[in-house]
């Protein structure tokens, strides 16, 4: 058989090695980037010894509101995680407005009790804390892991129990 009639394999050892190196690099980069974005909502344990009553009083003082149903959105400037949570925040605010909650915006740079942003608090018309914590959990804090939506839905069925979600992992910016 002449050299012109030989069939050349399109895949050789160099191609396989390049694909393996590319897969290892891509997987490693994804793991590192994901690990950097997933942080605890309360890594310093600021919420460990606080009660729902104390947290409600703190939030009411910060916003200078002490009555009425309210959703308090807590953010800080230059927090990239706000962008990741934008759709979820909007959906939670719409659901809160349907349930007659006033929306209050609170921007902080630091706080001795509140650990991270973006965060949200739901307080009922008796000034009882219904929820405090992140809007959601996971890499992009998406709607599928939405704590606020769950609390609002439960409230419409008459279930009202304070929830402080300190152990969530997601994209959060720490308050000083």
Q: Delimit the domains of the chain by residue range.
A: 3-37, 40-174
CATH of the domain spanning 40-174 = 3.40.30.10
pLDDT for position 116: 93
Q: 89-93, 123-127, 172-176: which has the highest mean pLDDT?
A: 123-127
Nearest to 108 by CA among 94, 121, 124, 123: 121
Q: Are 75 and 42 in contact (CB under 8 A)?
A: no
Q: Are 119 and 132 in contact (CB under 8 A)?
A: yes
Q: Are 124 and 102 in contact (CB under 8 A)?
A: no
Higher pLDDT, 142 or 61: 61
How many C-beta atoms lie closer than 10 Å to residue 93's C-beta? 18
Terminal C-alpha separation, the chain = 77
Nearest to 144 by CA among 157, 156, 155, 135: 135
Give per-residue pLDDT as tens, 79-119.
Answer: 888 877 787 788 888 989 998 999 999 998 888 889 999 99
pLDDT for position 50: 92
For 77-88, give one letter per residue: b (16+ CB within 10 A) or e: eebebbebbeeb
Give per-residue pLDDT as tens, 14-64.
Answer: 878 888 888 887 776 666 665 566 889 999 999 999 999 999 999 999 888
How many C-beta atoms lie closer than 10 Å to residue 61's C-beta? 10
């Amino acid at each position: 058989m002449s050299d012109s009639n030989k069939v050349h394999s399109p895949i050789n050892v160099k191609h396989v090695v390049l694909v393996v190196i590319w897969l290892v690099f891509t997987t490693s980069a994804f793991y590192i980037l994901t690990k950097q974005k997933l942080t605890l909502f309360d890594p310093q344990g600021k919420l460990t010894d606080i009660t729902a009553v104390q947290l409600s009083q703190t939030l009411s003082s910060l916003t200078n509101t002490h009555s009425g149903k309210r959703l308090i959105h807590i953010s800080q400037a230059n927090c990239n995680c706000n962008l990741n949570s934008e759709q979820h925040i909007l959906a939670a605010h719409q659901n809160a407005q349907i349930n007659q909650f006033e929306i209050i915006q609170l921007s902080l740079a630091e706080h001795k009790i509140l650990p991270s942003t973006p965060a949200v608090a739901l307080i009922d018309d008796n000034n009882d804390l219904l929820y405090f914590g992140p809007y959601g959990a996971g890499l992009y804090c998406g709607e599928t892991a939405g704590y606020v939506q769950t609390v609002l839905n439960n409230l419409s069925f008459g279930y009202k129990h304070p929830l402080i979600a300190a152990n969530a992992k997601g994209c959060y910016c720490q308050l000083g």
